[in-house]
Amino acid sequence: MTEAINFGAGPAMLPTAVLQTIQQELLNYQQSGLSILEINHRSALFQTIFTELNVLLRELLDIPSDYVILWLGAPARLQFSMIPLNFLDDVSRGAYVVSGIWSKLALEEAAKLKQAYVLASSEENQFNQVPHIDNKCIKPHTAYLYLTPNETINGNRLTQIPQVDLPIIADMTSCLLTEPLKVNQFDFIFAGVQKNIANAGLTLVLARHSFLKKSVYNMLPTYLSYQTHEQAHSLYGTPPTFNCYVALKMLQWLKAHGGVAAVYQHNQIKAKLLYDYIDASNFYYCKVLPKYRSQVNVCFGLPSHELEQTFVLMAEKKGLYGLKGHRFVGGIRASIYNAMPLSSVKKLLDFMQTFAQLKGHKQ
């Protein structure tokens, strides 16, 4: 059987070692006689998992003590609604940096519910860069600045945190734990776990406690209030227990591999390998300006849509899956998150070289 390598943007690859551990523990967790899929969320077994998960996350990201960790049983996209509902009233407004499709969708959702505006956008440049932020454009009564440091669909990356006198909210779904981070530069961070943390179906929130207290708590449906989840310690509703267990295994794997700083160096090597080849090629191209290129979502194109379709089909025959670009933008996308080994990236590179030669293009 040909080895299958998942280059998909999410649900993304999980390390083989983690999958093997899950397999071993699936039927009888900790000699309890129960599957990890069955244990009660208020049992001592699960509380041990949950406690260790939070302790390890704080260690890996050096999360300050005044930050709350929430694990929410919902897609990250729900935060597009929850954020304006929690932090905007009838007077205040949210400022959005539109650097790609996901930040644009977040803005559109916020504008349905409250007052939200574009502070800066690179859409006119097809999101080939991250827009410059001019503090003079910040409007009165702005309650927060919203940004997406890594745009999964467009393959761009924020290289510098804006210096603004506002609380900063960040969607880090595709970049959290892939590079060093100063959590205290942000007031609210959220991330869907299906890229680097666990299997799909769980959202992680890191929030400054003082910022959460600004939530319009009494005006919201109970489940949609962040204060509800803080007060219930993420157990207001039954959490996705299996996802939390997988998250713990992933964080243990990350720590064993040197932590965030070590995988960041590894991610840089993987990304450079692909971008250097693409830039030297007369067959492949990358629209994103070099300064702003994502290190975990390498987006590139071929001379025609037909060639891109053929590329994806032939790649799958070689065991390279998930390379089709997002339906909104097309092209090719190789997601090379923490779990992706360098050897797999080299296999993709070999295929890219072979495919170009097959189509009569000298490299």
The C-alpha R_g of the chain, in whole angstroms, comes to 21
Distant-in-sequence, close-in-space partners of 132: CB < 8 Å, separation ≥ 6: 120
- Taking only the tens place, the pLDDT of each residue in 178-225 is 999 999 999 999 999 999 999 999 999 999 999 999 887 678 999 999
* Identity of residue 267: N
- Taking only the tens place, the pLDDT of each residue in 4-26 is 999 999 999 999 999 999 999 99
The mean per-residue pLDDT over the stretch 240-264 comes to: 98
The mean per-residue pLDDT over the stretch 316-335 comes to: 97
Q: Regarding beta strands 203-208 and 188-192, do their DSSP bridges make them parallel or antiparallel, or are they unpaired? A: antiparallel
Q: Could you give the percent of the chain with pLDDT greater than 90?
A: 96
Per-residue confidence (pLDDT) for residue 217, from 0 to 100: 66
Name which of 194, 240, 177 is nearest 76 in CA terms.
194
Per-residue confidence (pLDDT) for residue 178, from 0 to 100: 98
Around 302, how many Cα atoms within 13 Å sit in the side-chain half-sphere? 21
pLDDT of 363 > 60? The answer is no
The mean per-residue pLDDT over the stretch 300-319 comes to: 97
Which positions are catalytic? 102, 171, 195
Per-residue confidence (pLDDT) for residue 2, from 0 to 100: 63
The mean per-residue pLDDT over the stretch 327-333 comes to: 96
CATH number of 17-256: 3.40.640.10
Is the bond leading into 240 cis (omega within 30 degrees of zero)? no
Q: Which CATH number fits domain 259-358: 3.30.70.980, 3.90.1150.10, 3.40.50.720, 1.10.10.10?
A: 3.90.1150.10
- Taking only the tens place, the pLDDT of each residue in 23-49 is 999 999 999 999 999 999 999 999 999
Q: In what order do the strands lie in the sheet with 93-98?
A: 67-72, 203-208, 188-192, 168-171, 142-147, 93-98, 115-121
The mean per-residue pLDDT over the stretch 79-103 comes to: 97
Per-residue confidence (pLDDT) for residue 362, from 0 to 100: 61
Q: Cα separation of 187 and 211, whole Å?
A: 6
* Alpha carbon separation from 213 to 106, 239, 323 (Å, rounded): 22, 23, 42
pLDDT of 330 > 60? The answer is yes
Name which of 53, 86, 85 is nearest 70 in CA terms.
53
What burial class does residue 317 get, using C-beta atoms within 10 Å of its C-beta: 0-12 exposed, 13-18 middle, 19+ buried?
exposed
Q: Cα separation of 177 and 62, whole Å?
A: 11
The single residue listed with the structure tokens 């050897």 is: 343
Per-residue confidence (pLDDT) for residue 67, from 0 to 100: 98
For residue 252 the two structure tokens come to 């243990």
- Taking only the tens place, the pLDDT of each residue in 62-76 is 999 999 999 999 999
Q: Regarding beta strands 297-300 and 332-335, do their DSSP bridges make them parallel or antiparallel, or are they unpaired? A: antiparallel
Could you tell me the pTM of the whole model? 0.97
- Taking only the tens place, the pLDDT of each residue in 283-308 is 999 999 999 999 999 999 999 999 99
The single residue listed with the structure tokens 């293009």 is: 361
Average pLDDT over the chain reads 96
pLDDT of 96 > 80? The answer is yes
Name which of 81, 67, 53, 68 is nearest 229 in CA terms.
68
- Taking only the tens place, the pLDDT of each residue in 124-158 is 999 999 999 999 999 999 999 999 999 999 999 99
The long-range contacts involving 300-304, CB below 8 angstroms and separated by at least 24 positions, are 300/274, 300/331, 300/332, 300/333, 300/334, 301/330, 301/331, 301/332, 302/331, 302/332
Any idea where the domains of the chain sit in the sequence?
A: 17-256, 259-358
Per-residue confidence (pLDDT) for residue 61, from 0 to 100: 98
